[in-house]
Chain A
């Protein structure tokens, strides 16, 4: 992780030192979580791998089962896809006896959209098909705007947006935190279905506080763990596991509204190791430095007109 962070800073520093008058390059913008942002806290140590959240997600989003094998009886997606917006995967090492342990242990991991604070897909999309809600910060997709260029897929560090490759009239598909259910006062399908509180819905700020509280817990001691939502009142009283000292999503590429806790390092769980700086900020800084108000291009155009005219005169 350290190497990549250092690399990111050096990339900026090297860029600034070597080339282009780009003073803004070194000053990556700081975006922070919106005050009313909502999110999910996934705690792998509470997850029992029952995949109820996957069923909940299918129901909530009207998605068909993704079957494998000739009989097509078993909903068993191997990864996120245009028909699977939420997936539980399992890490196993050695004998795989101990839950939430890196060596000779196992851990579950849940994958879906992180709802980034500074989402790469939103910045990348030329047609504003990806938008971040200004109030609660959910990143959602509008098929009527989308041209199907798939730059969002290239840009997303978590490989979340999926494309319907076998559809002649395809769409991008991704988790939208069940915003259609939130509008009706209901819960996201996954959090509603989760029996253990491993998927917990709530305000992003409160979830971050909760994650920090869990990080300070004494492994083996008993604590209260909220279920479904942080304020649901449903409580599970149980032993705290040994957490690794990292809240995934707190700072990765500028932070996310989905946060994760685990007992196994996140790289082992298949999550990318990302710097805290945002690549989006760098790309937009380059772009805005060059094209702010189109001043630079217009000045350049004026200069070119002059040079072309001069050259034409010489020819005559």
Chain B
């Protein structure tokens, strides 16, 4: 079996410096947030206490980080060893997505200096869905770094350390499947308690199931998206055959998801809300249309073998999952008359800064660490 290798090349490219600049800009707004409070930088309010820092950086960011989880399901749960070459790049995006979500939480919570309270037995509340999410995401970040450690050890040439780590790796691989199953579904359960504030187009007892399925198909889509881009820019081994085979899962998964999604809204008698022509109705339709179209496209094997079609479909699926989560947490969330939320410029720039860290880390990792199979 071929080994993963660093792709090499300069680190401080113009692209890298551009993202570095974006990061520096975001630091200014972060400093402001810590000096004057959340209100000085964000448009958050008592009606909309969560904005894009939570919804994009954490709720959506961790779904973007589900590539490692989704591929692990394929390789280990369904025993499809042929997808193994996809694991390390997928794991890398998971590592970034989750680590930075953890970072985002730190500057979003108001009383960050005592954030460790949720780990103290006399403070933690086992009834809280948020506690489950927080502990599980925290644990998963650690698991991801351990799962990724062999790449560092290879780089350092520490073969014996790598061998002994690999002997117990099965524990972390198993945890790496268990923990996302738990917290990704709980990210859905989080909004169950919002009850009457969430539009019936999204509020349902099935939120955990829908969040779980959607994070898995988003995970596959992210892997395809990322592999397509890397294949264009760098000389890596051709993965198009495995990718097109992987995409065969989409029509089925999305099909099942959409049946549950529509049956649930219809059984509760709220399908009419989708066709009112208002923002919520349109967002509901758009969110599902962005799934329906790639489902139709990828149903045909010829399209699955077409790199362009595959790439566009993956983007559509990623957008759909993103919009679904935005809808569940912000667009479908209505705390009552008079409350409004649209992210402030500073808020957006901080999120841009977070994404910039991810991109810079990605560039450094693939050039310096053994991630990809070289062509």
Contacts and interface: CB of A to CB of B under 8 A. Distances in A.
Interface string B119-136: 000011101111110100
Interface string B186-229: 10011111111100100111101100000000000000000000
Contact of A124 (B39, B75, B118, B129): B129
B270 interface: yes
B112 interface: yes
Contacts of B182: 290-291, 297
Most A CB contacts (10 A, CB to CB) among B46, B174, B177, B194 go to: B46
Interface string A278-291: 01101110111011
B269 interface: yes
A266 interface: no
Contacts of A288: 127
B231 interface: no
A149 B130 contact: yes
Interface in A168-191: 168-171
A72 interface: no
B125 A128 contact: yes
Determine chain B's interface SS by DSSP, over half rule: helix
B140 to A, nearest CB: 13
B81 interface: yes
Nearest to B105: A149
A126 B267 contact: no
A287 B173 contact: no
B123 A127 contact: yes
B296 interface: no
Given A14-B264, A150-B49, A280-B193, A25 B76 contact: no
Interface in B90-126: 108-112, 114-115, 117-118, 123-125
A163 B193 contact: no
Interface string A1-22: 0001011101111111111101
A30 interface: no
A304 B269 contact: no
B76 A311 contact: yes
B141 to A, nearest CB: 17
Contact of A165 (B44, B111, B205, B267): B44
B289 interface: no
A170 B110 contact: yes
Given A163-B110, A291-B132, A7 B40 contact: no
A310 interface: yes
A18 B260 CA distance: 8
Q: Interface size bucket, B side?
A: 35 or more
Contacts of A169: 111
Interface residues of A, number: 81
A304 B49 contact: no
B331 to A, nearest CB: 15
B279 interface: no
A67 interface: no
Nearest to B188: A286
Interface stretch (A139-147, A213-221, A237-245): A139-147
A305 interface: yes
B267 A157 contact: no
B269 A18 contact: no
Nearest to A153: B49
B152 interface: no
Contacts of A287: 127, 129, 132, 186, 189
Interface stretch (B15-23, B30-38, B367-375): B30-38
Contact of A15 (B79, B128, B194, B204): B204
A315 B175 contact: no
Contacts of A167: 37
B277 interface: no
Main secondary structure of the interface of A (DSSP, over half): helix
A73 interface: no
B77 interface: yes
B270 A304 contact: no
A301 B118 contact: no
Contacts of A171: 110-111
B45 interface: yes
B123 A128 contact: yes
B170 interface: yes
Contacts of A157: 195-197
Q: Which of B34, B44, B128, B196 has the most CB of A within 10 A?
A: B128
B84 interface: yes
A148 B111 contact: yes
A18 B263 contact: yes
A154 B270 CA distance: 23
A209 interface: no
A30 B128 CA distance: 19
Contacts of A153: 46, 49
A153 B87 CA distance: 39
Nearest to A253: B195
B37 A12 contact: no
Contacts of A283: 129, 189, 192-193
B244 to A, nearest CB: 22
B194 A312 contact: no
Interface in B222-269: 260, 263-264, 267-269
B333 to A, nearest CB: 8
30 contacts: A6-B269, A7-B200, A10-B268, A14-B206, A14-B267, A18-B260, A18-B264, A125-B125, A125-B128, A126-B118, A126-B124, A126-B131, A128-B125, A145-B123, A146-B111, A147-B117, A151-B128, A157-B197, A168-B34, A170-B37, A171-B110, A282-B193, A283-B192, A291-B182, A301-B174, A304-B173, A304-B178, A308-B174, A311-B76, A312-B170
Q: Which 4 A-B pairs have the closest CB atoms?
A: A148-B110, A15-B205, A165-B39, A279-B195
Given A11-B204, A18-B206, A157-B196, 17 more contacts: A11-B268, A12-B205, A13-B267, A14-B206, A20-B209, A22-B205, A143-B111, A146-B117, A147-B110, A149-B130, A157-B195, A171-B111, A274-B195, A279-B196, A283-B129, A283-B193, A309-B170
